[in-house]
Amino acid sequence: MEIISLKIKNFRNFSDLALDFKPEGALIHGINGIGKTNLLEAISFFAFGKSFQTSYDLELIHFSKAFFRIEGKFLYNGKEHFLEAAADKSKKLIKIDGAGISRISELYQHVKVVYFSPDDINIVGGAPSFRRKFIDQAISQYSYRYIEILRKFYRILKQRNALLKTEFDRKEKKTWDEQFVSSASQVINFRLKYLKEFTPILMKYYYHISEKNEELGICYKYSFPTSGKIEDDLLDHLNEIEEQEVIQERSLAGPHIDDLDFTINKHSARKFGSQGQKRSLAITARLVQANLIAQVGDDVPILIFDDVLSDLDKKRAKKIISLLENKHQVFIATPNVAIYKDFKLEKINMEKIMKGSQADDEVQ
47-105 pLDDT per residue, tens:
999 998 888 999 999 988 999 999 999 999 999 999 999 999 999 999 999 999 999 99
Same domain for 288 and 310: no
For 230-274, what is each residue's pLDDT tens digit?
Answer: 999 999 999 999 999 999 999 999 999 999 999 998 899 999 999
Within a domain: residue 18?
Answer: yes
* Judgement on whether residues 293 and 203 belong to the same structural domain of the protein: yes
Same domain, 252 and 360: no
Mean pLDDT of the chain: 92
| Residue 288 or residue 361, greater confidence | 288
Q: pLDDT band at residue 355, thresholds of 50, 70 and 90?
A: confident
Q: 269 and 168: one domain?
A: yes
Q: Residue 2 is which amino acid?
A: E
Alpha helices in the chain (DSSP H): 36-48, 122-125, 128-142, 145-164, 170-210, 230-240, 242-248, 269-272, 275-296, 314-322, 350-356
Residues 292 and 309 in one domain: no
Spatial separation of the C-alpha atoms in residues 121 and 331, rounded to whole Å: 19
**Same domain, residue pair 289 and 305:** no
Contact predicate 272/230, CB 8 Å: no
For the cut 60, the answer to whether the pLDDT of residue 358 exceeds it is no
Residue 240 DSSP SS3: helix
* Distance (Å, whole) CA 283 – CA 48: 19
CATH code for the domain in which residue 201 is found: 1.20.1050.90
Q: Determine phi and psi for 311, rounding to 5 degrees.
A: -85, -5
Residue 210 falls inside a structural domain: yes
What average pLDDT score do residues 107-122 get?
Answer: 95
Does residue 57 sit within a domain? yes
3-class secondary structure for 81-146? EEEEEEEECCCEEEEECCEECCCHHHHHHCCCEEEECHHHHHHHHCCHHHHHHHHHHHHHHHCCHH
Q: How far apart are CA 57 and CA 259, in angstroms?
A: 29
The last residue of one of the domains, among 298, 321, 353, is: 298
Question: Is 52 or 5 the better-scoring residue by pLDDT?
Answer: 5
pLDDT band at 325 (very low <50, low <70, confident <90, very high): low
Residue 162 belongs to what domain range? 124-298
Q: How many domains does the chain have?
A: 2
Query: What is the domain-level CATH number for residue 4?
Result: 3.40.50.300
| Residue 16 parent element (H or E) | strand 14-20
Distance of CA 101 to the CA centre of its chain: 20
- Please check whether residues 183 and 275 belong to one and the same domain: yes
pLDDT at site 17 = 94
Same domain, 31 and 144: no
pLDDT at 176 (0 to 100) = 96
Alpha-carbon distances of 146 from 36, 52, 186, 315, rounded to whole Å = 32, 20, 9, 37
Closest listed residue to residue 261, CA positions, set 218, 295, 209, 298: 218
300-335 per-residue burial string, b: 16 or more CB within 10 A, e: under 16? bbbbbbbbbbeebeeebbebbbebeeeebbbbbbbe
Q: Give a yes or no: residue 150 inside a domain.
A: yes
Q: What is the DSSP letter of 300?
A: P
Pick from 54-58, 69-73, 121-125, 302-306: least confident: 54-58
Instruction: Establish if 118 belongs to a structural domain.
Output: no
Within this chain, do residues 25 and 154 fall inside the same structural domain, yes or no? no
Specify whether 103 is located in the same domain as 166. no
pTM of the predicted model as reported, rounded to 2 decimal places: 0.92
Mean pLDDT of the 5-31 span: 95
What phi, psi does 92 have (nearest 5°)? Answer: -130, 140
- Distance in angstroms (rounded) separating the CA atoms of residues 27 and 50: 23
Domain end residue (candidates: 251, 270, 298): 298
Assess whether 268 and 284 both reside in one domain.
yes
Instruction: Tell whether the torsion through CA atoms of 11, 60, 129 and 257 is positive or negative.
Output: negative
Distance CA 318, CA 297 (A): 27
Reference 136, options 155, 120, 151; nearest CA is 151
Clarify whether residues 351 and 261 are in a common domain.
Answer: no
pLDDT of residue 362: 39
